[in-house]
Amino acid sequence: MRGLQLSLNQTQKVRLQRALEKLESLSSKPNSNASVIVADSIPVNHEDGLLKGHGTSEVNGEVVATVCGVVERVNKLVYVRSLRARYKPEVGDIIVGRVIEVAPKRWRVEINYSHDAVLMLSSMNLPDGIQRRRTALDELNMRTIFEENDVICAEVRGFQHDGLHLQARSQKYGKLGRGQMLTVPPYLVKRRKQHFHNLEKYGIDLILGCNGFIWVGEHVEVTDDMVVDQVSNSEQQSAKADKKILSPEEQERSYTPQETRENICRTANAIRVLSTLGFNITVEVIMDTVELSISLKQQVPIHEMLGAEFYVLVAEKEAARRSLTKKK
């Protein structure tokens, strides 16, 4: 919220300031005793066999914090959970990334981490769906699966000697198209059981990547019949090679409907507003923001969602929601 820069009039400044102050007071009270900054002393009992974890250090017999955050205690372990941090991959994380290089037997993927990730050809489902050893022909055809600048979805497999490895051994993973990829601070996207969301009401798919990359795109049906899919894909690729043979009906099916494109843009702008305000990004909050832009007396046009007035409205609604939740 500190980096919020908007051209607000005087009334909007007062309203936004009140909303942010209310949000700050609601969020700070539960952790007021546990919040620490760098060099703050952490009260502990050394007789209990204390274990010092991340964000702590011992200076002159006292345990002090080395990062800003909230003190957490798990049995004898004491550590500081930083409120704002870079993305730290964990095994099983769902991530969205962009292919930056096609290398021998692997793709290099940018995932908003300090190093690029690696997706091995052996960790990728082949188009025919048959489990077999990868051959030299498969390696030659790697660009037919992914090429540079393709946006993909994958899962963190783990760390190897040559870096962070990904895997895409399911139909829900793979290349993403007909949508937008957004970048938000990774700490705003919390790890949950479900990161794939189909917003049926708007006909779009939403993927909340743990690495801070979020995908909003047209809904794609995932089928289990890989062989049928391969036949249809090969027919589509041969048709794309010569666009003159495409009929008008086929060309119309290859485009995203205008209504769906508008829903994608409206959802993407809602995420941009939440990211700028510093709110945690969940599918529920995103849908509430989209509904707010539609439910006003005069529906907010998509481009005006990034205007000052809508930022103030979202902040006021979030403050009211948290206040109501706390009372309950």
Lowest pLDDT segment from 71-75, 167-171, 235-239: 235-239
Per DSSP, the residues of 232-284 read HHHHHHHHHHSGGG--HHHHHHTSPPHHHHHHHHHHHHHHHHHHHHT----HH
DSSP 5: -
pLDDT value for 286: 95
Mean pLDDT of the chain: 83
Query: pLDDT: is 196 or 161 the higher one?
Result: 196
pLDDT value for 227: 36
User: In the predicted model, is pLDDT for residue 232 greater than 50?
Assistant: no
Domains and CATH numbers, the chain: 34-85 (2.40.50.100), 94-176 (2.40.50.140)
DSSP 304: G
Q: Which residues contact 70 (CB under 8 A, 6 or more apart)?
A: 31, 34, 35, 36, 80, 81, 83
User: In the predicted model, is pLDDT for residue 30 greater than 70?
Assistant: no
Average pLDDT over residues 213-240: 59
Read off the pTM. Answer: 0.80
Q: Do the Cβ atoms of 98 and 150 come closer than 8 Å? A: yes
Average pLDDT over residues 54-61: 87
Average pLDDT over residues 46-51: 74
Do the strands 117-124 and 94-103 form a parallel or antiparallel pair, or are they unpaired?
unpaired
